[in-house]
Amino acid sequence: MFERRHTRQITVGKVPVGGGAPISVQSMTTTKTADVEGTLQQIYALAAAGCDVVRCTCNEQEAAEGLAQIVPRSPIPIIADIHHQYRMALAAMEAGVHGLRLNPGNIRKPEHIKAVATEARDRNIPIRIGVNGGSLDPSLYEKHGGLTAQAMVESALQEMNYFREVDFNLMKISVKASSVPLMVEAYRLLADTVDVPLHLGVTEAGPPPAGLVKSTAGIATLLLEGIGDTIRYSLTADPVEEARAGRQLLEALGLRERKNVDLIACPSCGRAEIDVIDVANRAQEAFADQKLPLQIAVMGCVVNGPGEAREADLGIAAGNKRGHLFVKGRNVAVVPENEMVDALVEWAEYINEHGVEAAIARVDTTLAEREAARDRSQLLSEKGDDANHAGEKIVEIRKTVGN
């Protein structure tokens, strides 16, 4: 596998970051922070989707006052996002937030930076140095001849030096850019330079699906190199999608224990007897809010389906216009086509509560296995092993090339 880079550990509320702690998922509210009830509603939705830490903007006095009411009612730690006005950082700490995010590109006066760091030190509140490729200090652009990884890292190091002048060490760093290659280069350089926890993200990634692709490309690349302690998908979308994407990525990489369904599905082919895409989408929707740490497969046919998905906890494969349910590759039941998704949900809930062996033991598998074999045989006789007629095409290709 890969070895995680060792970093110092800080704590955001009760969430440890760095030092071997589980990689945490972050997101940011899109509500006005002064709207206390609306913001709390979004925070609870984010927490349910797997978010560990949430960031709220603190850009005005009303926002700081809102934070004073939000923080004690939030199910997860709150980080205040500060831009331009250092006094908003002081107000946010007074409101009781669990952390701050400062952008070195728009709070530049050393005395202001040190004032915030001093107060954070006295209150034991961590700060993220949030370098953003789009808002670097102009002097760094000029020095490095534009936006470079070196310029971004230097911005972070300058901020660290101001913190250290007042003996503040509770920090993590991000060096985000909208360019994936630049973002990856900057984090690699930073990881070779400091031992503080790193917050990963591709800034301004855009709406899905492109935003998901860009974010995953950057974040996953670094995580697989052992770099990164906390992550955020920055999507132009409902922030709940950010939290879900972050959690799914960590589960897929084996970096967090699975808490949600991992739905796998075949890409379909000429042998498929159902609309695999439709069934998979309906299954995805049915399991979206269920905390079931299972791998579930939706397969288009009974010829290869159970074998290809034999490691799945639960699956269904179509044959003769009906669904063949299998548990760990073993056929257990046959259901009508229009009941396939409902059957998956019912069996998944039973397996989650009672286990695989109990699920298999509750039925007579002989009938299900016999029916699956019959449908498999019938499908092969109708469509053959070569459902897309590739074999015939290959023969013709060889004739053409040979001539």
Render pLDDT for 269-318 as a digit per residue (tens, 0 to 9). 766 667 888 888 999 999 987 889 999 998 877 666 666 667 889 998 87
Domains of the chain in start order, with CATH, are: 10-252 (3.20.20.20), 262-383 (3.30.413.10)
Pick 274 or 67 by higher pLDDT. 67
Nearest to 160 by CA among 200, 128, 122: 128
Q: For every residue of the chain, which 3-state class applies, written as one string?
A: CCCCCCCCCEEECCEEECCCCCCEEEEECCCCCCCHHHHHHHHHHHHHCCCCEEEEECCCHHHHHHHHHHHHHCCCCEEEEECCCHHHHHHHHHHCCCEEEECCCCCCCHHHHHHHHHHHHHHCCCEEEEEECCCCCHHHHHHHCCCCHHHHHHHHHHHHHHHHHCCCCCEEEEEECCCHHHHHHHHHHHHCCCCCCEEECCCCCECCCHHHHHHHHHHHHHHCCCCCCEEECCECCCHHHHHHHHHHHHHHCCCCCCCCCEEEECCCCCCCCCCHHHHHHHHHHHHCCCCCCCEEEEECCCCCHHHHCCCCCEEEEEECCEEEEEECCEEEEEEEHHHHHHHHHHHHHHHHHHCHHHHHHCCCHHHHHHHHHHHHHHHHHHHCCCCCCHHHHHHHHHHHHHC
pLDDT at position 74 is: 97
Q: In a 3-state reduction of DSSP, which class is residue 327? A: strand
What would the mean pLDDT of 190-204 be, rounded to a whole number?
A: 97
In the structure, what pLDDT confidence band is assigned to residue 32 with cuts at 50, 70 and 90? Answer: very high
Least confident interval from 215-219, 258-262, 299-303 = 299-303
pLDDT at 388: 55
**Does 382 have pLDDT greater than 70?**
no
Taking residues 13-28, what's their average pLDDT?
A: 97
For residue 307, the tally of other CB atoms under 10 A from its CB is: 12
Confidence of residue 323 (pLDDT cuts 50, 70, 90): confident
At 303 the pLDDT is 62
What average pLDDT is seen over the chain? 90
Q: pLDDT value at position 383?
A: 56
Can you give the pTM of this predicted structure? 0.84
Query: Does the pLDDT at position 391 exceed 70?
Result: no
* Residue 387: pLDDT over 70: no
Task: Residue 267: name the closest of 299, 294, 237 by CA.
Answer: 299
Residue with the bigger pLDDT between 376 and 63: it is 63
Residue 115 has pLDDT above 80, yes or no: yes
pLDDT of residue 180: 97
Q: Is the peptide bond before 110 cis (omega within 30 degrees of 0)?
A: no
Cα 66 to the center of its chain, rounded Å: 28
pLDDT of 374 > 80? The answer is: no
Q: What percent of the chain has pLDDT over 90?
A: 68
